[in-house]
Copies of this chain bind each other. A is one copy, B any other.
Amino acid sequence: LKVTKEKAAEHHEAIILAASRSFRENGFDGVGVIEVMNLAGLTHGAFYGHFQSKAALAAEACRFSFEERLSVWPAGLTLAGFVSGYLSAKHRDQPSHGCPMAAFASSVGHQPAIVKREYARGLESHVRHVTAQFEALGHGKAQARKNATVLLSTLVGGIVMARSVSHTDRRLSDTIISDMKRSIFSQYGL
């Protein structure tokens, strides 16, 4: 049954949102088109009226995830606050609302080119954003960029490692998080 253009646009956004959440939670291959559509409150048949393929949705979901993450960045958030929030049990246990780099980094390599491209774009914009934070702290342009690259890679490593054992060795997972946080704080003097 046909619906309002506004309703259809809302549906489109709902699909992307649902995909963004469940792809981050279960990986691109861990959730199917049917499940995403049901999460969006629709049936699977309507999917190909909105997207050309699952890969196209994955790319959109990837783009949305990065965009959402940067858009909810609080105005006065310090680097210390950012690191603390990133390396937290909450972030580890809620990948669906978390960093898309940590969620997609190691599986995006096996995804279609369209997904890889959108991921690389998001990564670049994320690096730029953190670079600006370091520049605001007085670092030179080149050094700020290096710091941003290293900090983000380090954070991703910490959360990815913590998640990899969070259901098997909770204590080790907690240790990774706290040790990484302490190390980063001392390294950057936060």
Q: Which residues of A contact B (CB under 8 A)?
A: 26-27, 29-30, 101-110, 113, 116-117, 119-120, 123-124, 146, 149-150, 152-158, 160-169, 172, 175-176, 179-180, 182-183, 187
In angstroms, Cα B112 to Cα A167, docked, is: 11
Return A172 CB to nearest CB of chain B, in Å: 7
In angstroms, Cα B176 to Cα A124, docked, is: 12
From B29, B105, B179, B187, give the contact of A160 (CB < 8 A).
Answer: B105
Given A157-B157, A157-B158, check contact A108 B149 (CB 8 Å). Answer: no
Copies of this protein chain in the complex: 2
In angstroms, Cα B183 to Cα A34, docked, is: 45
Given A106-B106, A164-B108, A180-B150, check contact A124 B169 (CB 8 Å). Answer: yes
Complex contacts, A108 vs chain B, CB 8 Å: 164
Q: Judging by beta carbons under 8 Å apart, are B109 and A163 in contact?
A: yes
Q: Judging by beta carbons under 8 Å apart, are A119 and B165 in contact?
A: yes
Given A116-B168, A120-B172, A124-B169, check contact A107 B109 (CB 8 Å). Answer: no
